[in-house]
Structure 1
Amino acid sequence: MIQQNIDRIYKKINEIKSSEQEVLLVAVSKYRSIESMMRVYEAGVKDVAENRVQEFLQKYDQLPKDITWHLIGHLQTNKVKYVVGKVALIHSLDSLRLAEEIQKQSEKQKVVTDVLIQINIADEASKFGFQKEEVKDAIEQIKTMPNIYIKGLMCIAPLDATTQMLNNYFKEMKTIYENLKVLYNDTDRVNMHYLSMGMSGDFELAVQNGANLVRIGSAIFEE
């Protein structure tokens, strides 16, 4: 079932995306067993995301070492030391305080940590992330931190958003992404490589609007 679901997701992505658009499928392992994640791995998906640090650490030790790990949940500053050097990409850099801690722990471990800047695209009080108008200033400050490399942007759309609203949010993210792409290049330790948006319920709309990384959980595992 997992293999069929993954094939179906890839098929949908390929039908929607533009010819030059490459889309990375990241499987979300939240609350999933090691056995289920092994089936995802055997189906050919080697990029895996976890929301919670404790679950990530358990799975990191038990799953194959050639998995590329992503952290997508809110990261508390006191947990940063456990993930730096282990995760390939932190999607949820949502404050300067968190950036400072990632810098500190990365320097300690002599690594450079790749991150995405999380934008609170719908201005939700319950969500983490920079406000749209804060993003450029935040990047200006974070790019002075030598052990952090900004690889793009991430957003989580509201669960109750209508199709039209989702369309607007994703469009707005793409515009911000393209504008920043023009401003920065690799020399600044900023490279707008990833636009991480879209989950099981809205990934098709996200891809349609230019997402090149989607985070899929339930659509992979549903029967």
Structure 2
Amino acid sequence: MIEENLRVVLRSIEESRAKRKLADPKEPVRLVAVTKNHEVHEMREAIACGVTDIGENRIQEAREKFAALERDAVRHLIGHLQKNKAKYAVSLFDLIHSVDTTELAQVLDKEAAKIGKVQDVLVQVNLAREATKSGVYEEELQPMLEAVDNLLHLRLCGLMCIAPNYENVEDVRPLFRRMYEIFQRTKEFPWKTANIIYLSMGMTHDYRIAVEEGANIVRVGTAIFGPRQY
């Protein structure tokens, strides 16, 4: 099942990339297979089928699974991160998508310094201003990006957003398009050390539209592994 599902998702990404109007249709899109609440044997199967990037939401679950999983994939933290878990995050993950406050960035910087690492991060943007979601509001974004850019043990690599789960998925398109415009503007700023290359947006229900509107990382779980087992 995983192999066939993965084939469908990859084909959909390619079809969506070809429909781009603003973003470069030739730019590759990284697929992060979200393995939250899925077993290690499913992760291994996905990697064997060609998955190169896996995403986890929770530190404790990731610690247990990564201990049993050979390091065959790039590891992404895509869930909300509490400051008291920062030391685990920098030791476990290659890219942290969910940096949502300057305070969290500062703690991550200190923990990365302790292990001699420069941690790649994305800043999460709450473009829809949803009270139930984390992320910085658009008007607060630039000062936070500059603060992260000044931290010696973090490397700012781009932006992430989670869109509302609209009943009509097409309603998400203007938000993704606006997010791409913010991403383009962010790339043009004269950063000190930041390397703004990633725009992470889109999940199982809306990744096709996200790719059409310029995402170059999508986070897909259910469409690959089936419904999560809780």
Q: What TM-score do you get using the length of structure 2 for normalisation?
A: 0.93
Secondary structure in 2 matching 1:123: coil
- The aligned counterpart of 1:194 is 198
Mark the runs of 5 or more structure 2 residues left unpaired by the alignment. Answer: 19-24
Letter of the 1:11 counterpart: R
Of 133, 141, 151, which aligns to 1:145?
151
The Cα offsets for residues 87-122 of structure 1, whole Å up to 9 and x where unpaired, read as: 110000000110010011011111000000000010
How far, CA to CA, are the matches of 2:226 and 2:66 in structure 1? Answer: 23
- The aligned counterpart of 1:209 is 213
Contact 2:166-2:172 within 8 A present in 1 as well: no
Q: What TM-score do you get using the length of structure 1 for normalisation?
A: 0.96
Contact 1:199-1:216 within 8 A present in 2 as well: yes
Q: Does 1:89 align with 2:89?
A: no
Superposition map of 1:1-223 within 5 A: 1-18=1-18, 19-160=25-166, 162-184=168-190, 188-222=192-226
How far, CA to CA, are the matches of 1:147 and 1:101 in structure 2? Answer: 10
Mark the runs of 5 or more structure 1 residues left unpaired by the alignment. Answer: none
Per-residue deviation at 1:161?
5.5
Contact 1:184-1:191 within 8 A present in 2 as well: no
How far, CA to CA, are the matches of 1:59 and 1:11 in structure 2? Answer: 28
What is the total number of aligned residue pairs between the two structures?
221
How far, CA to CA, are the matches of 2:187 and 2:167 in structure 1? Answer: 27
Per-residue deviation at 1:147?
0.3
Contact 1:115-1:151 within 8 A present in 2 as well: yes
Kindly tell me: are residues 162 and 133 of structure 1, through their superposed partners in 2, closer, same or farther at Cα, counting changes over 3 Å?
farther
How far, CA to CA, are the matches of 2:176 and 2:214 in structure 1? Answer: 8
* Runs of 4+ with >6 A deviation: none
